[in-house]
Amino acid sequence: MHPVHLRSAGTSLLLAFDSGEAEIVHWGADLGENLPDLAILRGPVPHSALDIPVTAGLLPQASSGWAGRPGLRGHRNADGGPGLDFSPALRVVAAQVQDGGRTVVIIHRDSEAGLEVSSELTLHPGGLLELAHTLTNSGTAEYQLDELATVLPVPRDATELLDLTGRWCRENHPQRHAVQQGTWVRTGRHGRTGHDSSLLVAAGTAGFANRTGQVWATHLGWSGNHEQYLDSLADGRRMLGAAELLGSAEVVLRPGGSYRTPSLYAAYSGRGLDGITEAFYHWFRARPQHVDTTSGRVRPVVLNTWEAVYFDHSLEPLLELAEAAAGLGVERFVLDDGWFRGRRHDHAGLGDWYVDEDLWPEGLTPLIDAVTGHGMEFGLWVEPEMVNEDSDLARAHPDWIGGPAGRLPERWRHQQVLDLVNPAAWQYIFDRLDALLSEYRISYLKWDQNRDLAEMGHAGRPSVHAQTQAVYRLLDELRKAHPGVEIESCSSGGARVDLGILERTDRIWASDCNDALERQTIQRWTGVVVPPELVGSHIGPTTSHTTARTHDLSFRAITAMFGHFGLEWDVRRLDDAERTELARAIALFKQYRPLLHSGRMVRADEPDPALRLHGVVSHDGGEALYALVSVATSFAEVPGKVCLPGLLPDTAYRVEAVYPAAEDRRAFLQAAPPAWLAGGVEASGLFLAESGLPMPVLNPEHGLLLAVRRTTAGAPAADPAANSAHPVRNP
């Protein structure tokens, strides 16, 4: 069988079949067209080892000497007991390149064991690699699957590992260590993706950073239990892998039955993490369902009622809130938790998806009419997968609560999980949501999910796998029935952020924490994979409800702008200055929205840990918006020159500070600002990236927004200091 070489956007994926298995010879930098004879590139055989070179196949197997974590584990219960067919010898019987050279489908077979695996690898146009296997039981007895993993080899110069972890209100924080021998495993047993799940597992060359180093990164597109790992073997080989974590006998394949793994998404970059981000963003934005400026549908500015009124729902205050929001330039009004029967607090009501007649005697129509009358869309919060024991639903159908046989799992936020594997429960939820979407003019659902699926079971057997699929089907069917409705995936903030859920939703809620300082980190690392137009990001109250920190509006607004911008604040109670500044911030976001939601994300490797610099550069290099953010007090008296990377080197640009105003005494602590700050400066992309601009002294937990635009004039201004100085003010 001939080797298969897929190439895209600077990445090569080279597969050889000489060993009888599909072996990834190279996944990394583009190799060009001229390849050597791969058959003679097989490695040596060491002493005290198998007599053949060990193949690290696409499905690593003990049958070819692989002593690391195997690709497939399972067995058959036949001929008097379990354990049969425990060690597959899957060999390639066909490999076909499809889809104009983007995809290769490889068929592996072990006729003896009665197993067949079809592996599909696609190298998407932006360089993102997608890999999934489908296992079929071609035998005559049931086959119990324990694990089917998707793995990719990384070279031995990938010596550092980065993954993400977190908790409620602190999602997606990085952790990093040297790769050593052994297996580093990140396990998610939450029944949902999890606050601590690793959105990305990245191996890279020593010291890889935002814009330097080689990086190989993977993400598993699955919202249930899972494992992600780096397997580093004694022979020096390293595999990045991920698999659904199956419960006992969760997948038992009848003869002819099959199981498909979640897709593993992977990217290679020779220019640091920004290159990984670019591959993911390219893939997201190429999806037909993607909502962004290029598809002609902009992400509307949101007001969400949660931190404004919580469960305190009544028509008059909400009408006032809608009016105040519209006056500020809000475009979508989302009514959060508290509108349905019995829901005055979080102890009751989940499952009773009828508008509460006591709170809303005329239904939601008066509010929706007012909202749409103001020219805004209306959105509604739901949490369809959950049930309170104190609900009509649970009283009528106690058996619809998921769990082990004979008892209920422990409550979490006073709630249980509805067993959506039960067809009647699934249908009830579908019908209620369908009815609400049919009766009311609802453009958007905030779809929440607020607990782990601990001990999740259907009919007494583990069911996270089936429940996850049932949720996916619910979303898919609702989208089919109501194609215009957008859906947000929220899960106690960011506990369900993955490409499985994002295949059927239009944005994620990154965190319940609206504290801008926390959000700087949460959004930075969520954004390594998910583009800003899909990451809900709201300006919360002046003093954060989840950290009690107080931040200026400018810092909160600059932080929210690099996402799907919104408000979660009782804007009825603003003073005049706040109202004026907030309206300006919203207008500023709208001005830059087309750029922010379509451009290339860049992150400088800023040497001062107190400072961060990120930005979005348009694909033609014509404009950019950067945020310089101070996250702590600095060791340095002045920040020095900060580089603005990612622009076209030979092009002249004008850089202007747009927010906050240069004379804003809350944001800056300096006797005089740098000379260019008030009037802007012209410089080449090369100068800005390599030499940088002297920045003002930002107070900690403040930001500065810099707009950059290509000048029509030819030569860049040579001396930034030649620009007019700003009048000196003492703090």
- Active site residues per annotation: 448, 512
- Do 47 and 118 form a contact (C-beta atoms < 8 A)? no
Please give the distance of CA 437 from its chain centroid, rounded to a whole number. 27
- Site pattern 237..276 for ligand DGJ (x: CB under 6 A): ----------------------------------------
- Bridge pairing between strands 564-567 and 302-304: parallel
- Site pattern 282..311 for ligand DGJ (x: CB under 6 A): ------------------------x-----
CB neighbours (10 Å) of residue 412?
A: 15
Please give the size of the binding site for ligand DGJ, defined by CB under 6 A. Answer: 11
Q: How far is the CB of 77 from ligand DGJ (least distance, A)?
A: 43
Per-residue tokens: 631? 């996250």
- Is 381 a binder of ligand DGJ (CB under 6 A)? yes
Token pair 């009419």: residue? 369
Sheet holding 623-630, edge to edge: 600-603, 611-617, 623-630, 702-710, 652-659, 681-684
CA distance 307 to 291: 26
Q: How far is the CB of 346 from ligand DGJ (least distance, A)?
A: 6
- Which amino acid is residue 571, in one-letter code? V
Q: How far is the CB of 305 from ligand DGJ (least distance, A)?
A: 9
Per-residue tokens: 266? 């992977």
Tally the residues of the chain.
731
Nearer to ligand DGJ by Cβ, of 266 and 417: the residue is: 417
- Site pattern 503..522 for ligand DGJ (x: CB under 6 A): ------x--x----------
- Is 227 a binder of ligand DGJ (CB under 6 A)? no
Closest of 362, 411, 247, 374 to residue 300, by C-alpha: 374
Position among 490, 604, 631, 647 found at the interface with ligand DGJ (CB under 6 A): 490
Helix 464-481 × helix 423-439 angle, to 10°: 30
Closest of 121, 220, 160 to residue 468, by C-alpha: 220
Nearer to ligand DGJ by Cβ, of 308 and 561: the residue is: 308
SS3 of residue 497 by DSSP: coil
- Site pattern 432..461 for ligand DGJ (x: CB under 6 A): ----------------x-x-----------
Nearer to ligand DGJ by Cβ, of 545 and 590: the residue is: 545
What are the phi and psi torsion angles at 35 (to 5°)? -115, 150
- Is 421 a binder of ligand DGJ (CB under 6 A)? no
Q: How far is the CB of 432 from ligand DGJ (least distance, A)?
A: 18
Task: Kindly provide the residue ranges of all beta strands, DSSP E only, lying in 581-697, ordered along the sequence.
Answer: 600-603, 611-617, 623-630, 641-642, 652-659, 681-684, 693-694
What CA dihedral angle connects 292, 297, 299 and 305, to 10 degrees? -140
Q: Of 193-201, 215-223, 485-493, 552-560, which segment contacts ligand DGJ by CB under 6 A? A: 485-493
Residue closest to ligand DGJ when measured from CB atoms: 337
Per-residue tokens: 125? 């146009």
Position among 462, 493, 615, 645 found at the interface with ligand DGJ (CB under 6 A): 493
Q: How far is the CB of 412 from ligand DGJ (least distance, A)?
A: 12
- Do 305 and 415 form a contact (C-beta atoms < 8 A)? no
Q: How far is the CB of 47 from ligand DGJ (least distance, A)?
A: 58
- Site pattern 308..347 for ligand DGJ (x: CB under 6 A): ----------------------------xx----------
Nearer to ligand DGJ by Cβ, of 276 and 475: the residue is: 475
Q: Of 225-233, 490-498, 586-594, 703-711, which segment contacts ligand DGJ by CB under 6 A? A: 490-498
Classify the phi-psi angles of 10: left when phi > 0, otherwise alpha if psi is within -120 to 50, otherwise beta.
left
- Is 278 a binder of ligand DGJ (CB under 6 A)? no
Per-residue tokens: 556? 């909160």
- Is 492 a binder of ligand DGJ (CB under 6 A)? yes
Q: How far is the CB of 574 from ligand DGJ (least distance, A)?
A: 21
Q: Residues in the site for ligand DGJ, rule: CB under 6 A?
A: 306, 336-337, 381, 448, 450, 490, 492-493, 509, 512
